[in-house]
Amino acid sequence: MTIIVHHLENSRSQRVLWMLEELGMPYTVKRYERDRRTMLAPPELRRVHPLGKSPVIEDDEETAGGAPRVIAETGAIVEYLVDKADGQLGAPSRREEALAYRFWLHYAEGSMMPPLLLKLVLGRIPLMGKPAAKKIQPMVDRHLDYVESELASRPWFAGETFTAADVMMSFPLEAARNRAGLDAGRPATVAWLERIHARPAYQRALEAGGPYAYA
């Protein structure tokens, strides 16, 4: 079993490489560079999946039609990999921790990323964009304060154990550290980032994926 990761630079797909390293699953990387003018993914990705976005993985486990299985969307990929690994890095056995696991797994993209992405897009619009982006910051701060309050009481998002929920939360918090005000004023969150960056699997994923601006 080998998985191909269609990996776009400085993107959510870095989490997929990290997840695979944590699980010890064999994989290969096909790298793509962003358009330097638009910063969008290249059109070649549409040959892999109709949406033309990354991450996308191909698993040589065949579908009913005989073609390799193609999975898109980071959360769906992470859940697929947890399932293939017989639950490794999945929901803890205790009910409250399992509920927290599912919440953070979906919160990462469903709640935290939208204002971060909006702030980024608005900040690139000449003249009126940057003032508009500043109005988004209070919304981002609300999320950062919430995350800080949660991590102040435990080392990992689902409790005492590292899980796929931590993998999912890495990208929005790295993005926030890079461009949205996450700093030493939120020490529990910064300490969490330092813990994930120190993990050997995270370091191996950086080597596999190439330069990553948020590490």
pLDDT in tens, 178-205: 989 999 999 999 999 999 999 999 999 9
DSSP bridge partners of 5: 29, 57
Burial code (b: 16+ CB inside 10 Å, e: under 16) for 104-122 equals bbebbbeebbebbebbbeb
Which CATH superfamily hosts domain 3-89+201-209?
A: Glutaredoxin (3.40.30.10)
- Tokens representing 180 are 């949205």
CATH of domain 95-199: 1.20.1050.10
Integer distance in angstroms from the first to the last C-alpha of the chain? 29
Tell me the pLDDT tens digit for each residue of 29-76.
Answer: 999 888 788 777 888 899 999 998 899 999 987 665 678 899 999 999
Q: Give me the residue spans of the domains in the chain.
A: 3-89+201-209, 95-199
Continuous H helices in 29-128: 74-84, 95-107, 113-123
- Residue 185 is predicted with a pLDDT of 97
**pTM for the whole structure:** 0.93
| Residue written as token pair 């064999």 | 26
pLDDT digits (tens, 9 = 90+) for 95-133: 999 999 999 999 999 999 999 999 888 877 776 777 887
| Short-list 122, 100, 121, CA closest to 168 | 100
